[in-house]
Structures are given as structure tokens and as C-alpha cells.
């Protein structure tokens, strides 16, 4: 056999040996399947661990609740003048605020009602403060109604990016009070019509503030009257509306 033929034969033998060492496509797929199952199993274990941790946390007083209770205790020692809080200390997920209009503003002498609620991940997000009445104001950022007001729909009083977990809810209360100081108020979100009234005719603006306050006060009186009527109607004669009015007003 010639030398050239021997070299060709040797190459064929080597090629056969290499082919025996090659992993088949099915074997590769099997390995990928096993790895994928291991990955899925690991993910399932992690999810189960997280779920068990959540269930354990839910059985204990939540961090949010403990944090709010701590802030309430701190607030009671450092109260803000002109602000009243109404809450259930055992479960203060919602705090009702009554804020007096600051002296030196057209809102002075009136009281304004708000509800402050806390998101599930508080203090990593700020509390939401909702106005329970219309307030005449040119800020549209705090107003989902036309004509200038603090609105009725829940909204954050500042962008989430401006909030830090180290802040307390009294910071948000102070921001509400700041909105009453019209002279120092700056906001890129303004109701154009109301703002023009403020710039050109402050006397008219102040009259509109007082008028809105009077209207909201009358609405609140009617609301309280209806509740009062419902509570005691069973104890009075059927035709006794005049008695209700005399008792309430």
C-alpha cells in the first residue's frame, strides 16, 4: 500500500473516532430540558419562600401599621397649630384632618376637611390626601374640577420622586397648609381663568374664596342635618320636619 493511501485511511479512522465522541442533538435537547426543569424548580422554591414570608408578616402587625402608630405618637408631642386629627390608633390606615385656614390668607376663619390614606408600601410612597370639599384656588395640580379648587379625587400632594421613607406624614399636612398662602404659592399647574382673576382683581378672588367657603359650609350643614334626621326620626312624629330644623339650626 502506497504511503498516500495509508494517510487517507488514517484520516478516515480518525474521523470515525471523532464522530463517536460527538453528542447527538437529542442528547443536547435532553440536557437543556434538565437544566430548564432545574431552573423552574428553583424559581418555584423562591416564590414559595416569598409567599411564606408574606403570610408570616401578615400574621404580625405590619411595618406600615407600626410606622404610622409611631408617627402619630410623635405628632401628639409635636402638634401643628390649627390642625385636628381624628383616627383609630389601633388601625389608623385613614386619618381625618381638619385644617384651619391660616391667618393672613382669604381662607382664615374657615375649617377644611381632608382624608389622609396610606398606601400598602408606606413609607416608601407618600400618603394620599383627599379634599372632602371644594376650595377655591388657582392651582390645577391639586384640582380636578374647573374653577380652582383642591378637588375631590385622591392624588399625591407632591411627586413621588420628592418623597423619602425618612419623612413623616406631618410633612404632607404642612404642604396642604402651604397651599393656602396664595402670595407665596408657585405652581406650574394653574387654572388660567382663576389665576387671571387672582392677578387682575384680588378683591374679587377673595370674594370667590369666601363664597365657596359659605357654599361648602351650607352643604355640610345639610349633610349633617340629614344624618341627624335619620338617626332620631324613629323617636318623633312622622310630620315633624320643622322640629328637626329647630333642633339642628
Structure confidence at residue 201 (pLDDT): 93
List the alpha helices (DSSP H) in 96-165.
none
Element (H, E) at 115: strand 111-117
Cα–Cα distance measured from residue 215 to residue 192, given in angstroms and rounded to the nearest whole number:
23
CB neighbourhood size of 47 (10 A):
10
Structure confidence at residue 106 (pLDDT): 92
Structure confidence at residue 102 (pLDDT): 93
Q: Which fold has domain 70-200?
A: Ubiquitin Conjugating Enzyme (3.10.110)
Tens digit of each residue's pLDDT, the chain (249 residues): 556 656 655 555 454 444 444 555 565 556 666 677 777 777 788 777 777 765 654 544 588 888 999 999 999 999 999 999 998 887 788 899 999 999 999 999 899 988 888 888 888 888 888 888 888 887 765 444 334 455 444 455 555 667 889 999 999 899 888 888 877 666 666 777 888 888 899 999 999 999 999 988 888 877 777 766 676 665 655 454 444 444 444
pLDDT, one tens digit per residue, over 111-122 is 998 888 888 888
Grid cell for residue 34: 434538565
pLDDT-above-90 percentage for the chain: 22
Element (H, E) at 12: helix 3-21
For the chain, give every domain's residue range: 70-200
Amino acid at each position: 500500500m502506497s504511503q498516500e493511501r495509508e494517510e487517507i485511511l488514517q484520516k478516515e479512522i480518525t474521523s470515525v473516532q471523532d464522530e463517536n465522541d460527538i453528542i447527538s442533538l437529542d442528547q443536547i435537547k435532553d440536557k437543556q430540558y434538565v437544566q430548564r426543569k432545574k431552573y423552574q424548580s428553583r424559581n418555584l422554591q423562591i416564590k414559595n419562600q416569598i409567599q411564606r414570608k408574606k403570610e408570616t408578616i401578615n400574621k404580625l402587625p405590619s411595618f406600615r401599621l407600626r410606622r404610622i402608630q409611631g408617627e402619630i405618637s410623635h405628632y401628639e408631642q409635636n402638634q401643628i397649630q390649627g390642625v385636628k386629627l381624628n383616627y383609630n390608633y389601633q388601625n389608623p390606615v385613614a386619618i381625618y384632618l381638619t385644617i384651619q385656614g391660616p391667618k393672613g390668607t382669604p381662607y382664615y376663619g374657615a375649617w377644611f376637611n381632608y382624608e389622609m390614606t396610606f398606601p400598602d408600601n408606606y413609607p416608601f410612597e407618600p400618603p394620599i390626601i383627599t379634599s372632602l370639599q371644594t376650595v377655591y384656588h388657582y392651582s390645577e395640580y391639586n384640582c380636578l374640577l374647573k374653577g380652582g379648587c383642591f378637588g375631590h379625587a385622591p392624588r399625591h400632594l407632591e411627586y413621588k420622586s420628592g418623597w423619602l421613607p425618612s419623612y413623616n406624614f406631618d410633612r404632607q399636612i404642612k404642604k396642604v397648609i402651604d397651599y393656602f398662602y396664595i402670595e407665596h404659592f408657585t405652581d406650574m399647574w394653574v387654572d388660567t381663568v382663576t389665576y387671571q382673576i387672582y392677578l387682575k382683581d384680588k378683591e374679587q378672588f377673595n370674594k370667590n374664596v369666601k363664597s365657596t367657603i359659605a357654599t361648602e359650609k351650607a352643604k355640610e350643614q345639610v349633610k349633617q342635618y340629614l344624618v341627624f334626621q335619620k338617626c332620631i326620626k324613629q323617636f318623633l312624629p312622622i310630620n315633624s320636619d320643622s322640629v328637626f330644623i329647630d333642633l339642628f339650626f
